[in-house]
Structure 1
Amino acid sequence: MAKGKHPEGGASLKCIELPPFSMPGELELLRQAKANFELFLATTPDFVYFKDRLHRFTYASNAFAQLTGFDNWHQLIGKTDFDIFAEDHAKLYFDSEREVIQQGKTLTELEEPYYDTEQQLCWVSSSKRPLRDEDGEVIGLFGISRDITRVKKLEAEIKYRDLHDRLTDLPNRYFYEQHAAAFIKQYDDAERIPAVMCINLDNFRELNDEHGTDVGNAVLKILARRLRATLRNRDLLCRFDSDEFVALVSPFRKRVGLDLIAQRFLLACSKPVVFRHHIVRVTCSVGIALCHRDALTAEGLLSSASTALTQAKQQGKNSYVGD
């Protein structure tokens, strides 16, 4: 595991002598409190830690120690995050904790990344509060972190489903609306013009009526894979509707490159699709819109490509039209 260098150096630890107690009962209470505290550190599933002003661990829960690859929390005493975590993560923790130690701030619901013992990226939600002496001076911090990796993964899955078509796993219309403008803007070059291509299957409704939705869905999944394979890695293919796909195509040096892509779309769709005992043949029509200076918006390009698609349908289908 990569280790970082503590930016503030490491001073030696100082022993603090406890004042004498005049009553035996007070010492017993202190011993009991210490025993309860250590029981808490040994049994809590949360990642609990205490640090001094130099960000060195003074106490920690066993759960936190085991997370960082130690057998028990005593092995953490005197160490900093830079001794334990990858440097980029340690610096992230250090920067946030400076606000606690130097400014006395309380931080809550702070989402922080870490790598587990198998080097898998995980997440915690942390709260960090200043520790003060009897004069009110900050002498360290107390932190508690709870693992939220499962929640983060669930959020990522939900976001992915929101942006992708469930049948074909292609990006959907919402994804296009969020990313098309940035895709187009990256090619700010008059000689390198991206394009939007609308692809629509010809007579797909009739295919569904004749063979049923199971066959229709299988055809869509197979053709989606074929269309995606036709494009380059830097291009984007989305599924908008039941039988409509939209491609964001990064620039070619010459217009003939777009013509070649459109011809490959036609060929990919015209090959027979075999599903169970069915052999299905379909075709597609394609409309192309180039990103000219007077049509730089994603909405304008999509509208132009849709108009070109309608013209391709009108001239006999299984063809493409571009500006």
Structure 2
Amino acid sequence: MSQLSSALRLTLIYLLLAGAWIFLGAALTHALPLGGLTSEKVYLLRHVAFALLSALALYALLRAHERQQQRYRRELHRHDERLRQAAVVFEATQEGVLVSDAQMRIIHVNPAFTRITGYREDEVLGQTPRVLKSGRHDQAFYQAMWQSIAKTRSWSGEIWNRRKNGEIYPQWQNLRAIQDESGRTTHYVAVFSDISAIKHSQSELDYLAHHDLLTDLPNRLRFVDRVEHALEYSRLHQSGGAVMILDLDHFKYINESYGHNSGDQLLKAIGQRLRAHLREGITLARLGGDEFAVLYEDCQSPTQAAALARNLLEALQAPIEIDNRPLVVSGSIGISLYPRDAQSVEQLLRNADSALFKAKSEGRQTFVFYHQELTALSRQRIELTIALRQALDRGQLRLYFQPIVDLHNGRQVGAEALLRWQHPERGLVPPGEFIPLAEETGQIAQLDIWALEQACRQLAAWPHLEFLAVNISSRLFGRSELDSQVAEILARTGAEPRRLELEITESAVMDDPDAALELMRRLRQLGVRLAIDDFGTGYSSLARLKEMPVQKLKIDQSFVQGLADDGPDLAIVNSVITLGHSLGLKVLAEGIEQPEQAERLCQLGCDFGQGYLFGRPQPASPEQLTQGAT
């Protein structure tokens, strides 16, 4: 088109010049004095001149055209050279390149695209870039991307895509829209780099910045960050926790005696040992030197913090072999509770450090709370916990039995087995003191199994009782294998299943109603009785209750104590009795101490009663058991 325009332009110029000569030449011939020249000679001279001038004009025009063509060829050559260079770059670049048409159909990719994504060119041609989509980004991400392209014709940013093998990886991508002279988008070009290695390096740098190189534990920076998050969580959820600082006693003597290399090995081994004694969710960090820190986020009481501190100190007592030498170290721990003691990281750490100083001043190898009264109380509870662990092995546990009577005739029909602890120094430890402790430490399930087996043995020796009731804790009831354990005990003791009654608390049932219902059905298949203990305190639904294969409801003693006032307690007790009978269940009221209470319960239709009015819990003696139950 450009060459045609040039030829037409030259032709027009020539016609203009020729026309101008014809008219000007004739005018000049008449105007100039020609002397004696004839008209033929004048005509000839005029045509010769026209030929000369035409030749000069054509030469000038052709020369100009030739120079223009040379410039065009040079420009075309440079353009071809740039295209060849671009093609080399396109093929050799380490960045992946994807070219699509205006409808987002892929029309070209480079070798780097194949290397990065795993897709060959023939596998993606005609496809859309959605074939690479990872699914990691939401719709808002892509909307923002296309809004940027519509506004600026480009977008740059980090995006996660999927390789052919399914691996999701990060890219840094530059996406540009290509438009023609009219502004219409004709193509899209995406240039991207695989930044997996960069991400990995960033992760490594972040790990190194927040972890101790020697022990591979979180360092002070990471520990402070986690404590800040824990305090924020505590404020939002009204919960608490503990921060402990553990310092090794006389560690400098090890460095001085065996060298810093042995000291480093010892610190590394201690970090591994302490970490092995911590459950998931508890953070252990090395603050520096021979100082470690612990963040116990879901610590519900000082007793739990004290128990953990004692376990850590006990873990340090075993020798650690370094360079074929057994080394023994001890430690001291300072404990600060939040939000009780402090609500900032700095104050919390200062409090724990103050408590640590106090522990060292008290002779080391111990733990101390920031508040001294917690230290004494916690140590006492820990001593009791240790003694309780030994009570079963040392034969200090006892079963006491309390009569259960028929309220309508006063006849004893059964008894409830109650666990007691005969401590060699403290005497009979109250159940309200050691039962909650056993529940906190997880020992209650083991105690329940022992009590269940002893009760079954006693049941076999008491044929006059219709049934013997045994409490099952929520922790033991939460075990799906409870039915098989009960079956084994019944087989070992020879007790009749129909005379064994298992009392399950209402709250234990409501922890997981579906699992509880299935377990109760399996227990009923063994032939044992089931009773819901402390009914009215666990918020169970009537829909669940009617499905439960139980035979008895036990009214909690807190409702029985207020019967004489004709208040809400009387209404609740009456409702429970009515509800139980409507479901075909027997009802038992516990905590009966006054004759008026027994009489009122009998008037309400309650079936059975239990309490000090009929007899206190006594050791296994038929005479003592039946005393007062007439």
TM-score normalised by structure 1 residue count: 0.81
Matched position secondary structure for 2:136:
helix
Please report how far the alpha carbon of residue 303 of structure 1 lies from its aligned counterpart in structure 2 after TM superposition: 0.9
Q: What residue is the counterpart of 2:296 in the other structure? A: 249
Distance of 2:109 and 2:232 partners within structure 1: 49
Q: Out of 141, 146, 150, which is 2:188 matched to?
A: 141
Alignment-derived partner of residue 222 in structure 2:
175
1:71 aligns with 2:123: no
Shift of 1:36: 6.7
Name the counterpart of 2:199: 152
Q: Which amino acid aligns with 1:65?
A: T
CA distance in 2, matches of 1:236, 1:166: 17
| 1:237 has 2:306 as partner | no
Secondary structure of residue in 2 paired with 1:107: strand
Q: In the aligned structure 2, how far is the partner of 1:35 from the partner of 1:148?
A: 29
- The one of 254, 267, 270 aligned to 1:220: 267
**Stretch moving more, 88-97 or 261-270:** 88-97
Which of 1 and 2 has higher RCO (CA within 8 Å, sep 6+)?
A: 1
Partner Cα distance (1:194, 1:125) in 2: 42
Alpha-carbon contact 1:44-1:63 (below 8 Å) kept: yes
Partners of 2:217 and 2:286 within 8 A in 1: yes
How far 1:183 moved relative to its partner?
2.2
Deviation at 1:40, TM superposition (A): 4.8
SS in structure 2 of the partner of residue 285 of structure 1: strand
Q: Deviations over 1:177-234 (max 9, x none)?
A: 3332112222347873111100000000111101111111111011101111222211
> Any stretches of 5+ residues in structure 1 without a counterpart?
1-18
In the aligned structure 2, how far is the partner of 1:22 from the partner of 1:294? 93
Name the CA distance, whole Å, in 1 between partners of 2:239 and 2:342: 15
Determine the structure 2 residue equivalent to 1:128. 175
**Aligned counterpart, 2:424:** none
Relative to structure 1, the CA distance from residue 107 to residue 84 in structure 2 (aligned partners, 3 Å threshold; closer, same or farther) is closer
Distance 1:90 1:46 in 2: 25
Deviations 1:49-92 (Å, cap 9, x if unpaired)? 123444332322132134333222x4323322322333235968
Pairing of 1:4-153 with structure 2 (within 5 A): 40-72=89-121, 74-88=122-136, 94-95=142-143, 97-108=145-156, 110-153=157-200
- 1:134 is matched by which residue type in structure 2? E
Paired residue for 2:353, among 287, 303, 306?
Answer: 306
SS in structure 2 at match of 1:252: coil
Could you tell me which residue of structure 2 aligns to residue 3 of structure 1? none
- Three-state SS of the structure 2 residue aligned to 1:269 is helix
CA–CA distance in 1 between the matches of 2:236 and 2:171? Answer: 43
| Maintained 8 Å contact 1:219/1:273 | yes
| Counterpart residue identity of residue 367, structure 2 | Y
Between structure 1 and structure 2, the one with the greater Rg is: 2
| Superposition deviation, residue 35 in structure 1 | 7.3
Gaps of 5+ in 2: 6-71, 372-630
Q: What secondary structure sits across from 1:88 in the alignment?
A: coil
TM-score, normalisation: structure 2: 0.44
C-alpha distance in 1 between matches for 2:174 and 2:96: 11
Structure 2 match to 1:14: none
Question: CA-to-partner distance for each residue in 1:154-195, whole Å, 9 max, x for gaps?
Answer: 222111111110000101111123332112222347873111
**Aligned equivalents of 2:341, 2:101: Cα separation in 1:** 61
1:186 is paired with a residue whose SS is helix
Task: Mark the CA change 1:252 to 1:75 in structure 2 (over 3 Å): closer, same or farther.
Answer: same
- The structure-2 alpha-carbon separation of the partners of 1:190 and 1:61, relative to structure 1 and needing over 3 Å to count, comes to closer
In structure 1, C-alpha distance between the alignment counterparts of 2:368 and 2:341, rounded to whole Å: 19
Give secondary structure in 2 for the equivalent of 1:63: helix
Distance 1:111 1:86, change over 3 A: closer
Matches within 5 A, 1:231-310: 231-293=278-340, 295-310=342-357
Distance 1:56 1:190, change over 3 A: closer
On the 8 A contact 1:104/1:138 being kept in 2, the answer is no
Question: Which structure dedicates a bigger proportion of its chain to helix?
Answer: 2
**Partner Cα distance (2:166, 2:210) in 1:** 28
Say if 2:227 is the partner of 1:185: no
**Over the residues paired in the alignment, what is the CA RMSD in angstroms?**
3.1
Separation of aligned partners in 1, 2:164 and 2:123: 16
* Mapped contact 1:112–1:124 kept (Cα < 8 A): yes
> 1:96 deviation in Å?
5.2
**Structure 1 residues 269 and 296, CA, compared in 2 at 3 Å: closer, same or farther?**
same
Distance apart, 1:140 and its partner CA: 4.0
CA contact (8 A) 2:319 2:329 kept: yes
**Residues 217/294 of structure 1: CA separation in 2 closer, same or farther (3 Å cut):** closer
Q: Is residue 191–residue 253 contact of structure 1 (8 Å, CA) maintained in 2?
A: no
Residues 101 and 138 in structure 1, CA contact (< 8 A), matched pair in contact too: no
CA distance in 2, matches of 1:61, 1:89: 25
Aligned partner letter, 2:355 = A
Would you say 1:166 and 2:193 are equivalent positions?
A: no
Q: 2:336 touches 2:352 (CA, 8 Å); kept in 1?
A: yes
Q: In the aligned structure 2, how far is the partner of 1:32 from the partner of 1:22?
A: 26
Identify if the C-alpha distance between structure 1 residues 83 and 226 changes in structure 2 by more than 3 Å, giving closer, same or farther. same
Residue 204 of structure 1 pairs with residue 251 of structure 2: yes
TM superposition shift of 1:253: 3.1
Which residue of structure 2 lines up, in the alignment, with residue 4 of structure 1?
none
The verdict on how the C-alpha distance between 1:71 and 1:190 changes in structure 2, with shifts beyond 3 A counting, is: closer
